[in-house]
Structure 1
Amino acid sequence: MTRRTVGIVMNGVTGRMGYRQHLVRSILAIRDQGGLTLPDGTVVWPEPVLVGRSEDKLRAIAERHGLAAWTTDLDAALADPANEIYFDAQLTQVRGKALRAAIAAGKHIYTEKPTADSVTEALELARLATDAGVRNGVVQDKLFLPGLLKLKRLIDGGFFGRILSVRGEFGYWVFEGDWQSAQRPSWNYRSQDGGGIVLDMFPHWHYVLERLFAPVRSVYAQATTHVPERVDEQGASYAATADDAAYGIFELDGGVVAQINSSWTVRVDRDELVEFQVDGTEGSAVAGLRNCRIQHRAATPKPVWNPDLPATEPFRAQWQQVPDNGEFDNGFKVQWEQFLAHVVADAPFPYDLLSGARGVQLAELALQSAAEGRRIAVPELHV
């Protein structure tokens, strides 16, 4: 058995997502299972190097998990030949500079989304990585949720027949920060700091639609700021300049129409915080984070509209749960394992920086659509 140690510069691990999902539940979880075993028997051992701005926070994380390597000097970490991969979970506004430095240092790139706050920069990063010949990938975690994996199983099995439409509902009420503390950092609500639900969520919707159904060919969106004033972590009021809700209509190849509502100003009356309903000629499904329920055409009720009488059908009870038929690992960890196999053994990995640029493009065009009040075509991007 051959063991291959791969140094990973992890920038932004003092943040919630970088720490919880990428360090603890992915890289450290892979180490806890003894590394990643490839088909040829090679065991890939990830060796994280923690990078950030706060010495105190980095030292505390390293001591908590028994890690030795941490630094506030990104250039030094990139200069070490033992570090083969650079991972970025920083704020979007500072991501581009660090990614450029890592590409110039010859490191393979794996990064959170959005990859940039403009499609021009996102495409430039994809081109730089291609020209440098480094492997590159973007986190697309929603594809690995149990509910969407079940949905993908239905699509691959031909359950829907011809898919007609997709309807998505995402969101929850984020408290304003006055009488209850907010569940999201205040920068999310300031456009000058890279905030906004369109830039945050539309790159997600792009890869979900593209990978599960078909490429997006047009977008019509309405973005708004429903709550114009919030209270930050220090208790100071601030103007919310970024959109906190967006309502989008997407036309896909093949005539599929998708509608997705995204909101941090909605109270939840659904089973999960995100749900997608897919309707086809042969059946329908509703998929969430973990669960997926279906209704085949042969089991579809035949309601008749009559507002003068109570509902005569228990509609929610007439759907069938899709079984797990297996165990589902953490989606962030699964994608990390795929990227490590891509770097070490040239395993396929389609979620590259160009794919990430297409997600940024959709967000940018959605904001343009909202500003101009019209449908916008989505052209193809090329490196």
Structure 2
Amino acid sequence: MTRTTTVRIAMNGVTGRMGYRQHLLRSILALRDQGGLDLGDGTVLWPEPVLLGRREHALREIAERHGLEHVSTDLDAVLADPDVDIYFDAQVTAAREEAVRKAIAAGKHVYTEKPTATGLDGALALARLAREKGVRHGVVQDKLFLPGLLKLKRLIDGGFFGRILSVRGEFGYWVFEGDWQQAQRPSWNYRAEDGGGIVVDMFPHWEYVLHELFGRVTSVQALTATHVPRRWDEHGKPYTATADDAAYGIFELDGGAVAQINSSWAVRVHRDELVEFQVDGTQGSAVAGLRECRVQHRSATPKPVWNPDLPATERFRDQWQRVPDNGEFDNGFKAQWELFLRHVYAGAPYRWDLLAGARGVQLAELGLKSAAEGRRLAVPEIAL
């Protein structure tokens, strides 16, 4: 006999692009559309979101659009509600640490976007507090669930590469300045005083991608830039960009591989996908993006000859083989939500916790310090 258990989730920040599209619409509401989450023991979890934020009119518009009941602008009142089981945070970075700390102190299980705090000390403090309170906690690490990176992980686990030598990543696109075309990202992303900057935004992603797939980051050397110093905000007013909009990083990895990742909101896309990673090993190479992955094995590697006086006779991309899907891929955010809910309500293992989130904050912090000081910095292991 099936038992339906209602799980009330306070969702803070759903008026933002990521909070609404990926977490509310494509994750929590998608779970409701499929009839809830079946735990496999006769229990079905039914997620009941409580929309939380500062703009009540925007929250109510979302609630009415999707037939939801619960809306609040009072964080403390929601956290005091014994029927609320989980607190989720997708706010702007500067507001996250305090809200997550309050949620943990209130005994709520916590699931949060990254970075988890504005500095390593704060991120570690959250992880320690969660351990002391005995609550379950998780951090969104969505890129691990992308089809392209899942295929790449399959290659790594199967020994395709032999010894991995290097990883080269390219991420980014042109974010319009906001004067003659509306910017695709909010203006706070370009103000350091509001927690903006591409290092703070993307280095936590690179930390968990590198750590999970290739090895722990042991050193970082970064160069940052603010390529577009003048932008226009949501009201059409010009402002000075005080945060970095591009970062060029070199990361040494445990095991000897070297990673180079360029991140930029001031680059025009000339690649197959918005993010791509090329992995080179002694036995083969691969290029993985959001969805696709292509490989070239050692036995099928052509012998290119450098001759600038003659045109190339072959298309190099045609020399690579597409990795098949071999399965269906769900939305990565939804897949991780399912894992976290199983962790909370069925005791399933879950390793992407607040300590993992703190590693991302650490790498961003050291990346900015490296850029400011112009030198390579060691990345020490952290523990509670």
Task: Indicate the TM-score class for this superposition, using the shorter chain for normalisation.
Answer: over 0.9
Distance 1:234 1:13 in 2: 21
1:312 positional shift: 3.1
Which residue is equivalent to 2:84?
A: 83
Q: Secondary structure at the match of 1:176?
A: coil
Which residue is equivalent to 1:147?
A: 148
Which residue is equivalent to 2:332?
A: 331
Deviations 1:189-215 (A, max 9, x none): 110111000000000000000011100
Deviation larger for 171-180 or 308-317: 308-317
Percent identical: 77
Distance 1:339 1:197 in 2: 27
Distance 1:355 1:230 in 2: 34
Distance 2:35 2:180 in 1: 46
Q: How does 1:55-66 map to 2 (within 5 A)?
A: 55-66=56-67
Distance 1:65 1:322 in 2: 38
Which residue is equivalent to 1:263?
A: 264
CA contact (8 A) 1:303 1:313 kept: no
1:4 positional shift: 1.7
Q: Secondary structure at the match of 1:259?
A: strand
Which residue is equivalent to 1:14?
A: 15
Which residues of structure 1 form unaligned runs of 5+? none
1:263 positional shift: 0.3
Which residue is equivalent to 1:33?
A: 34
Distance 2:51 2:311 in 1: 60
Distance 1:91 1:266 in 2: 24
Amino acid at match of 1:29: A
Amino acid at match of 1:6: V
CA contact (8 A) 1:285 1:295 kept: yes
1:313 positional shift: 2.9
Q: Secondary structure at the match of 2:291?
A: coil
Q: How does 1:100-179 map to 2 (within 5 A)?
A: 100-179=101-180
Distance 1:79 1:38 in 2: 27
Q: How does 1:312-327 map to 2 (within 5 A)?
A: 312-327=313-328
Q: Secondary structure at the match of 2:199?
A: helix
CA contact (8 A) 2:9 2:49 kept: yes
Q: Secondary structure at the match of 1:255?
A: coil
Which residue is equivalent to 2:193?
A: 192
Distance 1:201 1:360 in 2: 10
Distance 2:236 2:59 in 1: 26
Distance 2:245 2:72 in 1: 35
Distance 2:249 2:362 in 1: 14
Deviations 1:24-65 (A, max 9, x none): 100010011011111323111111111111111111111111
Amino acid at match of 2:281: G
Distance 2:238 2:67 in 1: 40
CA contact (8 A) 2:152 2:288 kept: yes
1:295 positional shift: 0.5
CA contact (8 A) 2:223 2:248 kept: yes
Distance 1:217 1:150 in 2: 25
1:341 positional shift: 0.2
CA contact (8 A) 1:50 1:70 kept: yes
1:261 positional shift: 0.1
Deviations 1:216-256 (A, max 9, x none): 00000001111111111111111110000000000000101
1:90 positional shift: 0.4
Distance 2:263 2:281 in 1: 23
Distance 1:163 1:293 in 2: 16
Distance 2:127 2:365 in 1: 17
1:75 positional shift: 1.3
Distance 1:232 1:46 in 2: 35
Which residue is equivalent to 1:99?
A: 100
CA contact (8 A) 2:97 2:118 kept: no
Amino acid at match of 2:191: R
1:78 positional shift: 1.0
Distance 1:202 1:95 in 2: 17
Amino acid at match of 2:157: D
Which residue is equivalent to 2:4?
A: 3
Q: TM-score, normalised by structure 2?
A: 0.99
Q: Secondary structure at the match of 1:218?
A: strand
Distance 1:268 1:327 in 2: 27
Distance 1:311 1:15 in 2: 47
The CA RMSD measured in Å over matched residues stands at: 0.8
1:177 positional shift: 1.1
Which residues of structure 2 form unaligned runs of 5+? none
Distance 2:336 2:191 in 1: 30
Which residue is equivalent to 2:211?
A: 210
Matched, 1:51 2:42: no
Q: Secondary structure at the match of 1:13?
A: coil
Deviations 1:347-383 (A, max 9, x none): 0110000000000000000000000110000001111
CA contact (8 A) 2:295 2:321 kept: yes
Amino acid at match of 1:21: Q
Q: How does 1:242-253 map to 2 (within 5 A)?
A: 242-253=243-254
Which residue is equivalent to 1:369?
A: 370
Distance 1:165 1:246 in 2: 19
CA contact (8 A) 1:177 1:235 kept: yes
Distance 1:53 1:305 in 2: 60
Distance 1:272 1:41 in 2: 41
Distance 1:177 1:28 in 2: 32
CA contact (8 A) 2:31 2:37 kept: yes
Q: Secondary structure at the match of 1:86?
A: strand
Which residue is equivalent to 1:311?
A: 312
Deviation larger for 40-49 or 331-340: 40-49
Runs of 4+ with deviation above 3 angstroms: none
1:314 positional shift: 2.1
Which residue is equivalent to 1:234?
A: 235
Amino acid at match of 1:341: R
Amino acid at match of 1:92: T
Amino acid at match of 2:60: R
